[in-house]
């Protein structure tokens, strides 16, 4: 099967799904799952395949090129698999809402356009698929109407701005080199001046940074996550913003090439170091803003921005281990952040839309599978040993420490400390503590929601214990970029500067776990008491109040909140108001009175005469 058929199935499936919904919702749901499953299977079949084909040349004589290699395959499979789980999760979540035909069609269109982006072999195809993705994303963010429209507008304004900046870069490349095919550009840019390469990097980094929600281009993401349907939030956070990551890797390692990138500037003024600093800022500020959030989805949105900082830091640092860590963290984040949004979505579904962390608690008793999924998800997010996030963060930390970058290493570690704080808040306030009486009869999540949660949870543990499988693919990608390959085995990485072997860590954790279990086994049996049989300072705890982490961080929040306001968002909103006011002022000259227009013409002519007279005198 060739790439054209894959894209035809992807885009055709999105269209057919919409019309099938007019016939039968059941048939539509089955077909949507079938198409997303087919995309995942077909994409997986391209493993270890290298292919390049021109599929159209009639658009202004630009060749539309499709190509697949290990790099594009890695992203395409991740997109297709996360898309499949999000579609399955949607079956119950979206069922009772309106306009569901449109929802499924747009979900499949977003997935299809992202696959098109990573399979593109030229910047024209890339840009077309990019715009399809951007506008279908806007429609899904705005799906719930009301405040969602405002969130969607913020997203699309920033997205269009990024797209226009990217278009300037594309036009510039074409005018300079008369081609937009990746393989041809990479050779030509080797001879370009450092100033021109820096110009191209700035333009494309802005465009990809908007999509990747890198600070200070992040402001659209928190409201978008708050208002978008939770299954789409899984796609949005897990893979869609990582299309910006794909673009950055494509720019640095394919179009410009790593050796040219690393030699741009020197010391702290090098492009490599400046982007690494942006990555560190993207880690720190959103991490501690997440700590201040009480809306579960908004907390995860800020977390997504922070985790994107780790990915950018690893990629921009430019060593084999840091890039492997950054790319592996992309893969890991797609898994555990998609899982966490599904966990929040399942709770939201069963509580009729409640996402306020101060209004939940005790749901472990009613939704145990969802709780376990949430617990494993935050362990991966933090980077607890035996989870996939541990390995990717270890690679980044190790590189920074061994390459004498203590500030970057400390900032990355500080970000992990903040991650522990907000992750504890998320998991405890939803599932632990006292179960409110209003949730006494709450049911567990439906099977269509539990299935993706279970599979993604197992994936976090599986790739944490056996990280060599994805790392082998990443190692092949790096070799294709001309970088020094790593020594990979199924359990981790071996090197002269430090080896990570997850089998040893797994064995140690297993032995400790057995010892702890034996201690509890021989200890005195615990007594089960009612949840209201609790006391604080000798006084009975009031009902629905025994959720002790509510406002637990108040002292810390009072100290840091004055310094963690999203002043970038305030700046953008102030700029928007200024543009609006300026436009309203200019609009007032259009009065509809012919006499006013005559005066404008006379004043304009007088100005021209004045300029002409003074020009002659000069």
Average pLDDT over residues 101-113: 91
Q: Are residues 563 and 610 in the same domain?
A: no
For strands 487-489 and 492-494, give the pairing: antiparallel
Output the pLDDT for position 607: 82
Residue written as token pair 């009869």: 441
Domain span at 611: 593-618
**What value does the CA radius of gyration of the chain take, rounded to a whole number of Å?**
27
CA distance 415 to 18: 43
Q: Are residues 576 and 601 in the same domain?
A: no
- Residue 336 inside a domain? The answer is no
Average pLDDT over residues 372-392: 91
Q: Are residues 83 and 43 in the same domain?
A: yes
For residue 615, name the pLDDT band (cuts at 50, 70, 90).
low
Instruction: Count how many domains the chain has.
Output: 3
Output the CA angle 445-463-239, nearest 5 degrees.
65
> Is 90 exceeded by the pLDDT of residue 524?
no
Output the pLDDT for position 36: 92
- Residue 615 inside a domain? The answer is yes
For residue 548, name the pLDDT band (cuts at 50, 70, 90).
low
Output the pLDDT for position 47: 87
CB-based contacts of 389, cutoff 8 Å, min separation 6: 329, 332, 333, 336, 379, 380, 381, 382, 383, 460, 464
- At 6, which helix (H) or strand (E)? helix 3-23
Q: Are residues 559 and 604 in the same domain?
A: no
- Residue 241 inside a domain? The answer is no
Average pLDDT over residues 502-509: 82
- Residue 132 inside a domain? The answer is yes
- Residue 381 inside a domain? The answer is no
pLDDT in tens, 335-350: 999 999 999 999 988 8
pTM equals 0.87
Q: Are residues 618 and 571 in the same domain?
A: no
- Residue 26 inside a domain? The answer is yes
Q: Which is more confidently placed, 1 or 136?
A: 136
Output the pLDDT for position 88: 93
Joined together, the tokens standing for residue 230 give: 């939770």
How far CA 530 is from CA of 363, 437, 493, 535, 543, in Å, comes to: 15, 13, 49, 12, 12
For residue 176, name the pLDDT band (cuts at 50, 70, 90).
confident
- Residue 52 inside a domain? The answer is yes
- Residue 338 inside a domain? The answer is no
> Is 70 exceeded by the pLDDT of residue 291?
yes
Joined together, the tokens standing for residue 282 give: 């993207």
pLDDT in tens, 33-59: 999 999 999 988 888 887 777 776 666
Q: Are residues 614 and 561 in the same domain?
A: no
pLDDT in tens, 215-244: 888 888 888 888 888 888 888 888 888 898
pLDDT in tens, 155-164: 888 889 889 9
User: What percent of the chain shows pLDDT beyond 70?
Assistant: 92
Output the pLDDT for position 58: 63
Q: Are residues 567 and 618 in the same domain?
A: no
Q: What is the mean pLDDT of the chain?
A: 84
Q: Are residues 562 and 613 in the same domain?
A: no
- Residue burial 447-466, b: 16+ Cβ < 10 Å; e: rest: ebbbbbbbbbbebbbebbbb
Average pLDDT over residues 411-425: 89
């Amino acid at each position: 099967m060739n790439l054209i058929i894959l894209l035809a199935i992807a885009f055709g499936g999105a269209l057919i799904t919409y019309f099938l919904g007019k016939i039968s919702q059941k048939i539509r749901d089955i077909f949507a799952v079938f198409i997303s499953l087919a995309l995942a299977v077909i994409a997986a079949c391209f493993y270890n395949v290298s292919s390049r084909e021109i599929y159209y040349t009639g658009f202004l004589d630009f060749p539309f090129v499709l190509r697949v290699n290990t790099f594009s395959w890695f992203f395409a499979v991740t997109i297709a698999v996360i898309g499949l789980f999000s579609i399955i999760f949607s079956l119950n979540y979206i069922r009772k809402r309106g306009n569901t035909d449109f929802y499924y069609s747009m979900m499949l269109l977003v997935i299809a356009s992202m696959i098109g982006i990573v399979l593109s072999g030229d910047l024209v195809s890339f840009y077309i698929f990019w715009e399809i993705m951007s506008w279908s994303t806007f429609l899904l963010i705005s799906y719930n109407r009301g405040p969602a429209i405002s969130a969607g507008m913020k997203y699309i304004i920033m997205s269009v701005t990024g797209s226009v900046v990217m278009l300037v870069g594309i036009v510039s490349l074409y005018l300079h080199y008369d081609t937009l095919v990746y393989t041809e550009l990479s050779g030509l840019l080797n001879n370009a001046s450092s100033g021109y390469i820096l110009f191209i990097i700035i333009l494309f980094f802005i465009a990809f940074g908007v999509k990747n929600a890198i600070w200070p281009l992040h402001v659209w993401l928190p409201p978008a996550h708050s208002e978008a349907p939770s299954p789409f939030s899984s796609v949005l956070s897990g893979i869609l913003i990582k299309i910006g990551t794909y673009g950055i890797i494509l720019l640095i390692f394919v179009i410009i090439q790593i050796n040219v990138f690393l030699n741009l500037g020197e010391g702290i003024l090098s492009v490599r170091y400046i982007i690494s600093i942006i990555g560190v800022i993207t880690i720190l500020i959103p991490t501690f803003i997440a700590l201040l959030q009480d809306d579960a989805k908004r907390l995860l949105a800020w977390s997504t921005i922070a985790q994107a900082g780790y990915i950018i830091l690893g990629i921009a640092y430019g060593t084999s281990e840091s890039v492997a860590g950054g790319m592996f963290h992309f893969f890991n984040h797609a898994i555990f952040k998609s899982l966490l949004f599904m966990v929040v979505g399942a709770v939201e579904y069963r509580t009729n839309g409640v996402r306020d962390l101060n209004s939940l608690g005790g749901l472990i008793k009613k939704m145990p599978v969802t709780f376990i999924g949430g617990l494993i998800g935050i362990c991966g997010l933090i980077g607890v040993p035996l989870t996939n996030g541990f390995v990717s963060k270890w690679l980044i930390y190790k590189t920074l420490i061994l390459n004498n970058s203590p500030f970057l290493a400390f900032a990355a570690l500080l970000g992990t400390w903040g991650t522990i704080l907000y992750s504890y808040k998320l998991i405890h306030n939803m599932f632990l503590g006292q179960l409110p009486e209003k949730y006494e009869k709450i049911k567990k999540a439906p099977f269509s929601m539990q299935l993706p949660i279970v599979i993604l949870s197992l994936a976090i543990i599986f790739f944490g214990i056996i990280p060599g499988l994805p790392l082998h693919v990443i190692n092949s990608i790096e070799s294709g970029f001309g970088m020094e390959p790593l020594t990979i085995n199924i359990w981790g990485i071996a090197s002269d500067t430090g080896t990570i072997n997850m089998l040893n860590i797994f064995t140690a954790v297993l032995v400790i776990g057995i010892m702890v279990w034996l201690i509890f086994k021989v200890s005195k049996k615990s007594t089960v008491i009612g949840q209201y049989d609790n006391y604080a300072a000798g006084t009975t705890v009031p009902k629905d109040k025994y959720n002790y982490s509510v406002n637990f961080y108040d002292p810390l929040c009072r100290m840091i909140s004055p310094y963690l306001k999203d002043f970038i968002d305030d700046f953008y909103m102030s700029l928007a108001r200024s543009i609006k006011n300026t436009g309203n002022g200019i609009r007032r000259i259009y009065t509809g009175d012919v006499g006013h227009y005559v005066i404008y013409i006379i004043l304009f002519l007088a100005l021209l005469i004045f300029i002409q007279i003074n020009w002659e005198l000069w």
